[in-house]
Amino acid sequence: MTRIQGKLILITGASSGIGEACARRFAADGADLVLWARRAERLEQLAAELGTAHRVSLSLAVVDVRDRTAVNRAAEALVRAGRVPDVLINNAGLASGLAKIHEGDPEDWDRMIDTNLKGLLNVSRAIMPHMVARRRGHVVNIGSTAGHQTYPMGNVYNATKFGVRALTEGMNLDVAGTPIRVSAVDPGFVETEFSEVRFHGDKERATAVYQGFKPLTADDVADAIAYVVNLPEHVNILDLIIVPTAQRNVYVVDREGA
Ligand code: NDP
Ligand code: 8X3
């Protein structure tokens, strides 16, 4: 028996990587799930699979977290159905491009700022009032080691994840006086579709990021998130940094042959 059994958990960016791994882990732990992402087919496949394997309720919605109207609509539908999430995992996010600031593509910058910062804000603003009103809830923001230390050409992605860290701190201050918890989980290198997205579909370049060492898997991170959300209500993890053993800081990695 876990503390999240029977709880309702909303995961943004559930169609892949860390979000998908969280969905699998939480369903196995008996939580009911709401899955949001843009790729409907991926969500449908995942929900069908988890629905067959576990006795939990699953609902999904195609939601682009950048689209405030769509976020509000999906959140209202949950609230109207009496399904205010007990836990919100603000996971949807991405890096787009890796370039020097004076050579970067402003379209990439918009994508990262609109998703990682404004998307997280849109979802939090739509869900948190209902948590505060019923004095129950836990928000977990997925930050990054990139929010603790910059690396060459990480500039705007770094800025968004530094921003997520500031928001986690600020959100905690703003819910003082309520039992709401706000946590950050900040991973280092995790082998997901993250780098393929960053390099605009260049699989070879993406694979090279994780060569010569053992990166984290999405399941490793889901384990850490499961730890955070399974703690008793008087315990709040403010920030959990998780890296592969080979990663010594945001850019120093013990690589074979390097
Ligand atoms: P993936 O690319 O595998 O997954 C990203 C998820 O975010 C997908 O489900 C994607 O779904 C969703 N997403 C992206 N943009 C939007 C959007 N506008 N609206 C809704 N959903 C969106 O990468 P990861 O699992 O690795 O990334 C998850 C989080 O972890 C991100 O916040 C990332 O910054 C963070 N992170 C990743 C690390 C890594 O090394 N992989 C390390 C540290 C942090 P869809 O495309 O279907 O919308
Ligand atoms: C993802 C980790 O180092 O690739 O947040 O930016 S890193």
Block means of pLDDT (10 residues each) for the chain, 258 residues, are: 94 98 98 98 98 97 98 98 98 99 98 99 98 98 98 98 98 98 98 98 98 98 98 98 98 91
| Interatomic CA distance for residues 225 and 183, integer angstroms | 9
Q: Is 144 in the pocket of ligand 2 (CB under 6 A)?
A: yes
Judge if the beta carbon of residue 146 lies within 6 A of ligand 2: yes
Mean predicted lDDT score pLDDT of the chain: 98
Nearest C-alpha to atom 19 of ligand 1 is from which residue? 64
- Ligand 2: distance of its center to the CA of 62 in Å? 26
Residue pLDDT, tens place only, 93-126: 999 999 999 999 999 999 999 999 999 999 999 9
Cα(172) to centroid(ligand 1), Å: 23
Pick the CATH number of 8-242 from 3.40.50.720, 3.40.50.10540, 3.40.50.1100, 3.65.10.10: 3.40.50.720
126 class by beta-carbon count within 10 Å (0-12 exposed, 13-18 middle, 19+ buried)? buried
Instruction: Select from 145, 161, 192, 220 the residue to mutate for testing ligand 2; criterion: most ligand atoms less than 8 Å from CB.
Output: 145
Task: Give the active site residues.
Answer: 157
pLDDT per residue as tens digits for the range 29-42: 999 999 999 999 99
Question: Measuring CA to CA, how many Å separate 81 from each of 56, 71, 78, 132?
Answer: 17, 16, 5, 18
